[in-house]
Amino acid sequence: MNFALRALLEVQETTLLAVRAAGRLFRRPSYVPEMISQMDVIGVGSLTIILLTGFFTGGVLALQTYPTLKYYGAQDQTGRLVATALVRELGPVLSGLMVAGRVASAIAAELGSMVVSQQIDAMRALGTDPVRKLVAPRLVALLITLPLLTLIADAIGIGGGWVVSTQFFDIGSGSFMAAVWDGLTTDDIIGGFVKTAAFALIIGTVACHKGLNTEGGTVGVGRSTTSAVVATSILIIVADYFITRGLQLIFGLPAG
């Protein structure tokens, strides 16, 4: 089977898994405790890396852009550039990649281990739907927690840019924050949430699909974990381009 056909089948199976999970989400039992548990694992567990990533990304943006802006006499717009870059692009994408690296691998490994130890078969034999019990709660948890994590990353990133700008480049705190508020728009915030929702679906469906289709024992679990991280990371970057282009057309932003 050639690569293009295999990739197309993977997309089809992953999409069908997401549709089945959404269709069975509102049936009883709803597994609310499992959803809350997954929110804790995904959201609270990823908070540290999100805080570090956001803060230092904002600081690096300020460090790299201030000299160029100063050359053109626009150094007072450093806050605007940091905030716009974070909210529109870097916040959603970096948060998605960080969560993908941590969560996609964990989901694929957990479900893959359940497959090779025949726990999934046992669930089916007892009349429990694995998609409703295992996939749906993880998708819901990701859809709720990833946008919140991205919002935290944006805020902390702006804080990192503020620290660098005020401590190293003598930009006034009021001037920096005024530029931040002047640069942010509702469209930017909505676009960031749209991206993170799409990234959450990608991470959840791909990781669950890879885990549930594990073959080859414990070695297969390792392969599923690796392929889940690689696939989600690539899909996030590819989806980011198309979502950005779509948002430009919807909001009427200049696109060339």
pTM: 0.88
Count how many Cα atoms sit within 13 Å of the Cα of residue 224 in the half-sphere of its side chain. 27
**What is the residue type of 188?**
D
Query: Which token pair is 13?
Result: 């199976």
pLDDT confidence tier of residue 254, bands split at 50, 70 and 90: low
For 109-134, what is each residue's pLDDT tens digit? Answer: 988 888 888 888 888 888 777 888 88
Query: Which token pair is 47?
Result: 């908070």
Query: Which token pair is 155?
Result: 């805020």
Which DSSP category does 220 fall into? H
Query: Which token pair is 104?
Result: 């996609």
**What's the rounded Cα separation, in Å, for the pair 92 and 74?**
26
Q: How many CB atoms lie within 10 A of CB 5?
A: 9
Per mean pLDDT, which range of 5-14, 95-104, 138-147, 230-239 is the poorest? 5-14
Domain regions of the chain by residue span: 30-251
Model confidence at 33: pLDDT above 70: yes
**What's the rounded Cα separation, in Å, for the pair 76 and 42?**
38
* pLDDT value of position 256: 46
